[in-house]
Amino acid sequence: MLVAAEWLYGTAFFSYLVTSILYIAGVTGKKIKIENGTAASNKWTRVGYWVAIFAVAVQLAGFLARWIGGGHAPVSNMFEYMSFWAWAIMLAFVVISAFYHFPILGAFAAPTALAVLGYANVFPDVNMSLIPALKSYWLYIHVTTAALGEGVLTIAFAAALMHLLVITEVNMPDKRSKWLEFVLFLFITLIGFVFISLMYKVQGYHVSDPVTGNVYKLPPVIGSTGTDVGSLATLFGIPLPLFNVPSWMTWGKAPIRLNTLLLTFVVSIILYLVLRLLNRKPLVRTVSAWVKGLDAPSLDELSYRAIAIGYPIFTLGAIVFAMIWAQEAWGSYWSWDPKETWALITWLYYTLYLHLRLQRGWEGERASWLAVAGFVVILFLLVGVNFLIVGLHAYA
Amino acid sequence: MASQSKVGRAVTVTILLLASAGIIFALLSFNQSDENVSQPQVGQAAPNFSLTNTDEKKMSLQELRGKVVVVNFWGTWCDPCREEMPRIQLMYEKYKDNGVVVVGVNIGESRVTAKGFADRLGLTFPIVLDHDRSVTLNQYKIGPIPTSFFIDKQGVVRYIYTGPMSSGYLETKIQTLLSQP
Amino acid sequence: MTTVVRRRRTLTTWLWDFFASIKVAIVIIALIAISAVIGTILPQENFIPSLNPGAYYPQTYGTFGEIYYTLGFSHMYTSWWFVSLMLLLGISLIICSLERVVPLYKSLQRQQIKPALSVIQRKEIYVPAAGADETAVDKLIEELTRRKYKVRREGTSFMAERMRISRFGAYILHIGLIIIILGALSRLIPGWYVSKNIWVEEGQTVSVTGSEFFVRNDDFIVEFYDDGRPKHFETKAVIIDGGQETVKQSIIVNSPLKYKGFMLFQANYLPPMLRTLDLELTEKDSKQTLGKFTMDFSNMQTEYKAGEYTVRALDYFPDFVFGNDGPTTRSTDPNNPVLLIQVEGPGIEKPLKQWFFPLNQMVLEQESKYELVPFGGRMVETTGLRVQKDNGIPIVYGGSVVVLAGLVLVFYFQHKRIWGQLHDGVLHVGAHTSKNWFGMRKDMEKIFQSVGMPVEVSLNKRGKK
């Protein structure tokens, strides 16, 4: 069963990739007619949509197979959780596309889901038996509902980004187009991280530091305090680490994390520069050409609708069910654990969005920027907290 | 705007603010009454305790009022505690006739262990047993040991030191406190 | 309001207007969010492995940690100003809601069944159906009633309304939040909230903090996976209330024991530890037993009677190790107990000191003629239970239900209104909705369809949003 699950997850991953390619090919192939503010679908995007549905179905099958094979719902480690989030994004895209006809949305939503699924694969995909605190149905309910809410909110991000690309005059080198370019760069950063992590994971790379016992899964450019420069490994003949972390950064796995951040940053810059050179103009101009002519208010509305649908689901899953689970497992419905606190912060953030939009008239551009930044908040909730903050939460 | 009476609004606002103030006050006193009270600070009266010593006699801090008291929290498993003991013993012998008492508070160990330790190191100052650790944890909030409290003749904490003390430190502090009324 | 009036505002009016402002509410929410972010930069005090935060933060995180601690960020969520922000949010929620819900309620109560025709004509959705008569009005009303609209009629005019309550969704949601805040604050009521860890050794009976009953640990079970991660913890617990065994239940993680508003959670455990040993005092040469006694390692005595003999404990090292300056102990737990003893009794003129190793039978040449031989004993495991009582939980859960109901009303339902008036054979129908104009348009088309008056419904400009 677990083998089948692995195979199904692999197929899903491949289908995400195909969907993304089809959609991007569809919008770049100049075959999409944009008339009266709406885009007609073409062969590419129609096939893309069916592949997306296939991907959702296959991953659901994989999810169930893994559940049966592993004996517990596969949402109990980072690989499983991130995969589920990617699935939720894809599902939200498929469902919302059925109601709102925006084939171009796929060119943004599918790559996002693909990046998230890629990120999931950075983590070990072993089926772990559960520690006692995770053996609870409330946990499954909490985690899946929260992921669904986050998936819908991610669609809001994609629509808001499209909206910004439509309304921004990208040929002007002003602040707005610079910020949009920066958003694209951030996306490349995510891809860059997934890329190097997967590359070294496939090789089974790991270097352990004899001084601290830390295990590096990426070339150790930065060493812990006390580790001799050049004593750990080499990269292209350069002895590593090149330098040590500042002496105050000694706790826990801080050096490893700093190392990962640095490498991600370097790889992302290289990746960006390569794309930028190939493109010969800011990336934002190319991407905005895909969406030029779309009806901006409809995209704004779509983004808002996605938040209006996602917010109650997020409240239910990430706050209410989380409280019930915490009550059952730890004996206290709220203990200000970093993950819990960040769920609240995310909730407050979208609360602000709704009040600003509905009560203060923040529609259009400002609302879209808020929705785009909201994705960063969600990313921090799901990735940053685990990566940067040491908490008591279940997933290590 | 005229849908609610001015008086109603005034009453509502006042009640809400008063209630909030009340809640904040309750919260602050709640935190205080909780175990969150901090270590006795320099300048505060040293909390009194009454424990039995290794000879099974009751001993309280209160009855040492009028003397300079050094309360030293320690355990036999703690190496730095063992390291500073001979110096404390030395100072105790030197100043005990001038009105200085050292009280060693053993944390949670048996009488046999504490007494055996004292005999091996030749400690003659009184050692009391905080068997259930209530004095250590609840009254004095001790973190790392050894921790020593220097209490003046009025029963007020004057110095707190965490870690093994040097003879010089012990002697200057004891002399300072002895020179004061 | 003129400036003259504004200048005369009393303090309470000013405060009311302050809290009734959405801007202020947004600022309060933002401040709470920012404070919460700051509170997650470093672990909060209740998560650090130290009893002395004042020393821990500078030691672990350097200068930054010291500043963080000094500013009180290390106990952010219980600080008076964070709680104050929460309370300000509560006040803002109440006043913002009151300020808006009363006028909304009144205006919805005062709706006219028969507004001026021009009002209908200016609705975002407006359909003039020609060739209609009173029966058409009847049929339309019937159809609307079937579709769960509440219809009020005045001659040949009518007004139909659905899901008016969705307009109040936001306020219901706010009420839910206020209930949650009150539920969380109920912890301040004396006796409503208990949270304490207790340790219960196997066989031991311990008072449950804050209650009048006791808990006994009959057995503690711990299982591990092969890789060393914990698999299963279980305490076989018995509640003793008023001298009676009232409840017998296994406590496992995620499945607490509930009794009289208290919950006992499996939270922790200590590995097996030597508790008692049954010892025989024997004469080495003759193997003759001189006496028996039991030694309790958690309560070491200075002397034990063994028949006519006395075994005196001179020194005791619970966790023996030979250090740089002689024998010493690593901890207070009897992991490797070693005793210095001497045997006194008939025929012993000069008692000899001797070492006693209860667990490791060290071969040591000792002059003494006596030895202690263990023949029984008891190892115990200790379970760590979390005692939790929170009478506010039902309030918080209830508040959550109200919040969710409010959210569903706000975001998944809509308030729809339809007006109709018959003038000279033309039925003028106007419609308004709080959101989802597209759906409303489809609704109208279906309604007309089913009464046999197919029309095409389009939106006026205002409704396109």
8 Å CB contact of C396 and A323: yes
Task: Specify the domain boundaries for CATH 3.30.310.80 within chain C.
Answer: 120-163+414-464
Q: Express the helix, strand and coil content of chain B in percent, nearest 5 each.
A: 45, 20, 35
> Can chain A be said to touch chain C, i.e. do they have 3 or more Cβ pairs within 8 angstroms?
yes
The b/e string for B8-46 (b: 16+ C-beta within 10 A; e otherwise) is ebbebbeebbeebeebeeebeebeeeeeeeebbeeeeeb
Instruction: Report which of A94, C324, C9 is spatially closest to residue A86, judged by C-alpha positions.
Output: A94
Residue type present at position C334: P
Cα A59 from Cα A89, distance rounded (Å): 12
> What confidence score (pLDDT) does residue C403 get?
96
Q: With contact defined as beta carbons under 8 Å apart, do A107 and A290 qualify? A: yes
Interface of B with C (CB under 8 A): 1, 3-4, 6, 9-10, 12-14, 16-17, 20, 23-24, 26-28, 30-31, 39, 75-77, 79, 82, 108-113, 115-117, 119-120, 137, 141-144, 162
Q: Is A243 exposed, middle or buried (0-12, 13-18, 19+ CB in 10 A)?
A: exposed
C43 contact A CB<8A: yes
Task: Classify residue A239: in a domain, yes or no.
Answer: no
Look at the block and give the residue holding tokens 């009959």.
C218
Q: How many other C-beta atoms are found inside a 10 Å radius of the C-beta of residue C35?
A: 18
Cα C229 from Cα A81, distance rounded (Å): 20
Instruction: Report which of A181, A39, A188, A150 is spatially closest to residue A105, judged by C-alpha positions.
Output: A39
Q: Chain centroid to CA A48: how far?
A: 20
* pLDDT above 90 for A87: yes
Q: How many domains does chain A contain in total? A: 1
Cα A269 from Cα A279, distance rounded (Å): 15
* pLDDT above 90 for A371: yes
Q: With contact defined as beta carbons under 8 Å apart, do B127 and B114 qualify? A: yes
Which residues of chain C make contact with B13, given a CB cutoff of 8 A? 12, 15-16, 19, 91, 95
8 Å CB contact of C88 and B9: no
Kindly list the domain boundaries of chain B, sorted by start residue. Answer: 1-36, 50-178
Instruction: Report which of C165, C408, C171 is spatially closest to residue A311, judged by C-alpha positions.
Output: C408
Bridge partner residues of C291 (DSSP): C281
Look at the block and give the residue holding tokens 């084939």.
A103
Nearest CB neighbour to A133, from listed C37, C195, C253: C253
Q: With contact defined as beta carbons under 8 Å apart, do C165 and C409 qualify? A: yes
> What confidence score (pLDDT) does residue B54 get?
86
Cα C396 from Cα A336, distance rounded (Å): 16
DSSP per-residue string spanning A241-306: --EE--TT--STTHHHHHHHHHHHHHHHHHHHHHHHHHHSS-HHHHHHHHHTTS-HHHHHHHHHHH
What is the per-residue pLDDT across C22-74, written as a single tens digit (0 to 9) for each? 999 999 999 999 999 999 888 888 777 766 777 788 877 778 888 888 888 88
Q: Helix, strand, or coil here: A133?
A: helix
C233 contact A CB<8A: yes
* pLDDT above 90 for C160: yes
Q: Chain centroid to CA A72: how far?
A: 24
Instruction: Report which of C274, C255, C275, C276 is spatially closest to residue C265, judged by C-alpha positions.
Output: C255
Q: With contact defined as beta carbons under 8 Å apart, do A116 and A82 qualify? A: yes
What backbone torsions phi and psi does residue A18 show, to the nearest 5 degrees?
-60, -45
Cα C460 from Cα B161, distance rounded (Å): 80
8 Å CB contact of B23 and C185: yes
Nearest CB neighbour to C329, from listed B1, B10, B76: B76
Instruction: Please compute, for residue A158, the number of CA atoms within 13 A of its CA located in the half-sphere on the CB side.
Output: 25
Min CA distance, C199 vs chain A (Å)? 16
What is the per-residue pLDDT across B85-104, written as a single tens digit (0 to 9) for each? 999 999 999 898 888 999 99
Greatest pairwise CA separation for chain C in angstroms: 132
A75, two tokens: 């949402």
Sheet with C214-224, edge to edge strand ranges: C205-207, C214-224, C230-241, C244-252
* B30-59 average pLDDT score: 76
Residue in chain A lying closest to C252 (CA) = A132
Task: Classify residue A191: in a domain, yes or no.
Answer: no
Instruction: Report which of A365, A323, B13 is spatially closest to residue C94, judged by C-alpha positions.
Output: B13
Which one of A216-220, B108-112, C235-239 scores highest in mean pLDDT? C235-239
C399 — pLDDT class (breaks 50, 70, 90): very high
User: Quick check: bond before B47 cis, omega within 30?
Assistant: no
C60 contact A CB<8A: yes
Q: How far is CA A199 from each of CA A149, A187, A196, A219, A268, rounded to the nearest angstrom? A: 31, 18, 5, 12, 14
Q: Helix, strand, or coil here: C433?
A: strand
What is the per-residue pLDDT across C419-431, written as a single tens digit (0 to 9) for each? 999 888 888 999 9
Which residues of chain C make contact with B115, given a CB cutoff of 8 A? 302, 315
> What confidence score (pLDDT) does residue A211 get?
67
C337, two tokens: 């107990």
What is the per-residue pLDDT across B68-83, written as a single tens digit (0 to 9) for each? 999 999 888 888 888 8
Min CA distance, C304 vs chain B (Å)? 12
8 Å CB contact of C329 and B112: no
* Options 1.10.20.10, 3.40.50.10860, 3.30.310.80, 1.10.40.60; CATH of C120-163+414-464: 3.30.310.80
Indicate left, alpha or beta for C424 from its phi (over 0: left) and psi (-120 to 50: alpha): left
What is the per-residue pLDDT across C438-463, written as a single tens digit (0 to 9) for each? 778 888 888 888 887 777 777 765 44
Instruction: Report which of A143, A155, A150, A162 is spatially closest to residue A98, judged by C-alpha positions.
Output: A155
B neighbours by CB contacts (3+ pairs under 8 Å): C
Look at the block and give the residue holding tokens 């409280």.
A323
Who contacts A114 (Cβ-Cβ below 8 Å, separation ≥6)?
A16, A17, A19, A20, A86
Q: Is C232 exposed, middle or buried (0-12, 13-18, 19+ CB in 10 A)?
A: middle
- Report percent pLDDT > 90 for chain A: 32
Min CA distance, A316 vs chain C (Å)? 7
Angle at B112 between CA B109 and CA B116, to 5 degrees: 105
User: Count of residues for chain C?
Assistant: 465
Residue in chain C lying closest to B9 (CA) = C16
Which residues of chain C make contact with A370, given a CB cutoff of 8 A? none
Positive or negative torsion for Cα A209, A214, A217, A221: negative
* pLDDT above 50 for B3: no
A55 — pLDDT class (breaks 50, 70, 90): very high
Min CA distance, A191 vs chain C (Å)? 26
8 Å CB contact of C22 and A360: yes
Min CA distance, A334 vs chain C (Å)? 9
C404 contact A CB<8A: yes
C408 contact A CB<8A: yes
Which residues of chain A make contact with C25, given a CB cutoff of 8 A? 355
Q: How many other C-beta atoms are found inside a 10 Å radius of the C-beta of residue B56?
A: 9
Indicate left, alpha or beta for A381 from its phi (over 0: left) and psi (-120 to 50: alpha): alpha
Residue to substitute from C253, C391, C461, interface A, most A β-carbons within 10 A: C253
What backbone torsions phi and psi does residue C255 show, to the nearest 5 degrees?
-140, 85
8 Å CB contact of B112 and C19: no
Q: Are strands C326-329 and A34-35 parallel, antiparallel or unpaired?
A: unpaired
Look at the block and give the residue holding tokens 């106007």.
C430
C383, two tokens: 């379970």
* pLDDT above 50 for C4: no
Cα C444 from Cα B62, distance rounded (Å): 88
Positive or negative torsion for Cα A354, A356, A358, A359: positive
Indicate left, alpha or beta for B29 from its phi (over 0: left) and psi (-120 to 50: alpha): alpha
> What confidence score (pLDDT) does residue C174 get?
94
8 Å CB contact of C412 and A312: yes
Task: Classify residue A150: in a domain, yes or no.
Answer: yes
Residue to substitute from A152, A251, A253, interface C, most C β-carbons within 10 A: A251
* pLDDT above 70 for A77: yes
What is the per-residue pLDDT across C78-115, written as a single tens digit (0 to 9) for each? 888 888 899 999 999 999 999 899 999 999 988 888 88
What is the per-residue pLDDT across C56-67, written as a single tens digit (0 to 9) for each? 888 777 788 888
Domain region containing A91: 2-170+282-388
Which residues of chain C make contact with B16, given a CB cutoff of 8 A? 90-91, 94-95
Instruction: Report which of C95, A369, C352, C277 is spatially closest to residue B9, judged by C-alpha positions.
Output: C95
Q: How many other C-beta atoms are found inside a 10 Å radius of the C-beta of residue C188?
A: 16
Min CA distance, C250 vs chain A (Å)? 14
Q: With contact defined as beta carbons under 8 Å apart, do B45 and B155 qualify? A: yes
> What confidence score (pLDDT) does residue A38 get?
63
* pLDDT above 90 for A88: yes
C405 contact A CB<8A: no
CATH T-level topology, domain B50-178: Glutaredoxin (3.40.30)
Which residues of chain C make contact with A356, given a CB cutoff of 8 A? 26
Q: How far is CA A217 from each of CA A155, A220, A388, C167, rounded to the nearest angstrom? A: 32, 8, 17, 54
B74, two tokens: 């320690």
